[in-house]
Amino acid sequence: MTDLMRAAVLYAAGDVRVQDYPEPALTPGMVLVRVQRAGMCGSDLHYFHDGCCGAFVPTRPFVLGHELSGVVAAVAADVDGLAVGTRVAVNPARACDRCAYCRAGRRNLCRRTVMLGSASTRPPTDGGFAHLVAVRADQCHRLGDLDHAVGAMIEPLAVALHAVRRAGMPVAARVLITGGGPIGLLIAMTARALGAVQVVVSDPSPGRRETALARGVDDVDDPSDPNLPDLGGELPDGGFDVAFEASGAPAALRQLFDLVRPGGTIVQVGTLSTGDVLLPASQVMAREITLLGSFRYGDVFDDAIALVRSGRVDVASLVSRVFPLEDAAQALAAAADPGTAIKVQLQIASDPDA
């Protein structure tokens, strides 16, 4: 008979039920992690509000959540080097480690990736809004004495760190980020930690602009300001060195081509709609603008943990509210309010100090 645990299960749009749910099996090469904290991402909100996330439509009810930390609860017999009781942050993306992308060190592009809390697989893969989750041993990254609230922020920080590395930021870069949500703020904080001399965040929400200023950015802008296109011309070399689009808004991406300098770089981080987006190709040519994509993360989790441990990035300051697992639906509703929430987390375990 399968043992049961508590989990937040998505049934349909607006229908998340915290219920008894079968515990995951411990199979070869895998470990069971007893989840302590789990954060809420934009994809969780899409599943909750829309019943799907873009083209990913669930074929059965499943457990949400992919930003998580916890304690190793059980280890398969063939797993070495990871002991029960180890405190870990979890990389929720399990690449195949066999394809050309994985062999080339670009595991984030693996087409066989299994993602926790996602309907990208059939059936969907259960995630971390549960007492236990099964992951491959190499998905676990040691936290040491870092708090579990911090541990659950390592995944979104890894997104930001991968994006900043993709940009290949020049020394003393001037950086613009469109989108003042959690990923935009983490990119701002990471860019600063890695040497940016000017960091500006653009967001239509006054609350998010205030939050960005409180987190140490140099300036904020409203993208609807008619004078914003003049900002680039006021900077040395005629614009920002690097711009990160973290809002997922096509208009924000288009605006960046007028704000980066000749030879500048734009990195698309936010998830855009599946439709085509019109871009000024003539500017790409005449001003030699580089447009890059940044998807999830490469193998940067340990580096993200080191960045936090060094004190150069304060991810704990972005955790705005914490709810118990039993209030998962209320937490998802709260996370959707950009005026009051930055990062909402669930306290999963009954013992928060484990």
Provide the residue ranges of all domains of the chain, joining segments of one domain with +. Answer: 4-152+314-347, 161-293
What single string gives the DSSP state of each residue in 293-330?
E--S-SS-HHHHHHHHHTTS--GGGGEEEEEEGGGHHH
The CA distance from 128 to 134, in Å, is: 9
The pairing of strands 67-75 and 87-90 is: antiparallel
Question: What's the first-to-final CA gap in the chain, in angstroms?
Answer: 28
Of 92, 117, 123, 119, nearest in space to 107 by CA = 92
pLDDT of residue 209: 95
Beta bridge partners of 15: 12
pLDDT of residue 351: 65
Spatial CB neighbours of 54, under 8 Å, sequence gap ≥ 6: 46, 271, 274
The CA distance from 209 to 201, in Å, is: 7
For tokens 């259960």, the residue is 126
Spatial CB neighbours of 26, under 8 Å, sequence gap ≥ 6: 32, 74, 76, 134
The pairing of strands 140-142 and 67-75 is: unpaired
Q: Give the single-character DSSP code of 124.
A: P
pLDDT of residue 307: 97
> Residue 217: which region, alpha, beta or left (left: phi > 0; alpha: psi -120 to 50)?
beta
pLDDT of residue 298: 83
| pLDDT tens digit at each of 354 positions of the chain | 579 999 999 999 999 999 999 999 999 999 999 999 999 999 999 999 999 998 899 999 999 999 999 999 999 999 999 999 999 999 999 999 999 999 999 999 999 999 999 999 999 999 999 999 999 999 999 999 999 999 999 999 999 999 999 999 999 999 999 999 999 999 999 999 999 999 999 999 999 999 999 999 999 999 999 888 777 778 888 899 999 999 999 999 999 999 999 999 999 999 887 788 999 999 999 999 999 999 999 899 999 999 999 999 999 999 999 999 999 999 999 998 877 789 999 999 876 555
Choices 3.40.50.720, 3.40.50.300, 1.10.10.2840, 3.30.70.1060: CATH for 161-293: 3.40.50.720
Superfamily designation of domain 4-152+314-347: Medium-chain alcohol dehydrogenases, catalytic domain (3.90.180.10)
